[in-house]
Amino acid sequence: MSKSVVIIGGGISGLFAACICAKRGFKTTVLSYGQGALAAAGGIIDVFGYDEKGKLIHDPLEHINSLPSSHPYGKIGAENVEAALNTFLKLSAEAKYPYKGDVHKNQMVPTGIGTFKPTCLTPPTIDGDLINHADRIVVLGFKGLKDYFADLICENLRRNLPKSSCEILSTEILLNFESSSACRDISALDIARKLDTHVGYLNFREQIKSYVKGKTLFILPPVLSASPSTDLLDLLDIEINAKFIEVSAMPPSVTGYRTELMLKNIAEKLGVEIIEKAHVFASEVKDKHCSYVMTQGFDRIRKYSADHFILASGGVFGNGLVTQMGRMYEPIFNIEIDVPKNQQEWSHQYLFTGRPQPFATYGIETDNTLRPTNKGQLLLDNVYVVGRALAGYDFCFEKSGNGVAICSAYHAASLLE
C-alpha cells in the first residue's frame, strides 16, 4: 500500500510539492484555503535577483553556492535547486504552457511601469529578450482598464532603452463588454476572457494590425488568454506577423492565475485530491510525530491522517505565520519563532533602505531536510516546511520568492520515504 502525504496550502509551493509527491507514488492530498500568493507574484519564477548589497545577480545558480547555510537555498543545495527548476520547466512543457529561461541566467523583463526587473524563468507570454530584437515597440492600453498606464510605460521604456534602438509609441484600444461589466472597472482577467472568444479576438486583431511595421513588438498587460495556453499567442504571431509580450503586472495577476491553473491541472491528472476551503487550524502531535491535522469547514471538524505532512501555508502575508506584540508563531503545529521581544528591532527605521529588512527573514528554522527545529533540536519528524514560512531570506529584496517556493517544495517532496 502506498504511503500518504497531506500538503497544507494550495499556493505554488503546495501545488508543486503535490505534483512531485504524486509522481513518486504517494497518495497525495492538498488542503487549500483562500487564494495563494501566485496572484501577487505574477507567475514568474524569481530565483535570485540581487545580493545583500543590492547588486544585480547575473547567474542565480552560481550565486547560491555563496549563500550561508541558514538561507533556504543553503539547506537545499545548488544541485537540488537546479534539479527543481529543470523539473518545473519539464512539467510546464508537458502541460503545453512551456516556461522560458535558463537556470544559469537572469533575464530582464518589463514591469507595469516600464522599468525592468531580473527574473529567471517566465511564462511563455513574458519573453524579455524580444525587446532586444524589435525595430518598433507599440505599448497597448485598453480603455477602462484600471492600474495600467500605457503612456507611462512608453515614457519609461524610452528612458531605459537606448534611444537609437527602436521606435516606441503607445496607443489605446476599446473592446466592447456586456452591460454587466459597465458598472465596474474592467480588469485584465475580463479582457483575457474576452480575447478567448472568437468575436473578442477578431475585434482585437482588427484594431492592432495597422500598427505593424517591420519587426514590431506589442507590449500589453497580462491579457493573452485566461487559460494556461499559448494558442492565442501563437495565432497572433501567425495572423499579425508581430511579437507580443506581457508586462509583469501588479496583483491580481492573470499570469499567476494561469500558472495556478496549470499546476492544478497537472496535479489532478496525477491523481492528487485537492480540497478547497479547508481551513487547517490544529494538529495532533505525540513524541515529535504528527498523526493528523484538523480542518474547520462549514459543517464540522474533519481529521486528515497521513504518513507525512508538508506545511506550505505561507508567511505572515498569507496567515501561515501569526504575529503578536513581540511574538511570532506558526498556529497549526504551535511552533514558536525566535524574534526580538522589542518590536522596534524587527525593522530598520525606514522601509526602503537598500538592504534586507529583519522582519522579512523571520520564519521557521529547519534542518537540511526542511523539518522544523528549535536551537538545533528536531521538533517534528514527519513535517516538512516549504515556501514563505521558512526563515533566513528576504524574498522581496532578493527577488527569490517563487524560486524558494519551488525549490523547497521539490526538496521536501524528494526526501519523503
* Confidence (pLDDT) at 233: 93
> Is the distance from CB of 28 to CB of 268 less than 8 angstroms?
no
Distance between CA atoms of 296 and 21, rounded to whole angstroms? 25
Q: What are 180's three cell numbers?
A: 454587466
DSSP class of residue 249?
A: P
- Does an H or E element contain 380, and which? none
DSSP class of residue 224?
A: S
pLDDT tens figures, 236-277: 999 999 999 999 876 668 999 999 999 999 999 999 999 999
* Confidence (pLDDT) at 250: 65
Amino acid letter for position 181: S
- Does an H or E element contain 399, and which? none
* Confidence (pLDDT) at 94: 96
- Does an H or E element contain 329, and which? strand 327-330
> Is the distance from CB of 17 to CB of 409 less than 8 angstroms?
yes
Beta pairing class for 4-8 and 308-311: parallel
* Confidence (pLDDT) at 316: 86
**In the beta sheet, which residues pair with residue 327?**
324
Which residue positions in the chain have pLDDT lower than 70?
1, 35-41, 163-164, 178-184, 250-252, 351-354
* Confidence (pLDDT) at 351: 66
* Confidence (pLDDT) at 163: 64
Across 35-72, b (16+ Cβ under 10 Å) vs e yields: bbbbbbbbbbbbbbbbeeeeeebebbbebbeebeeebb
* Confidence (pLDDT) at 184: 66
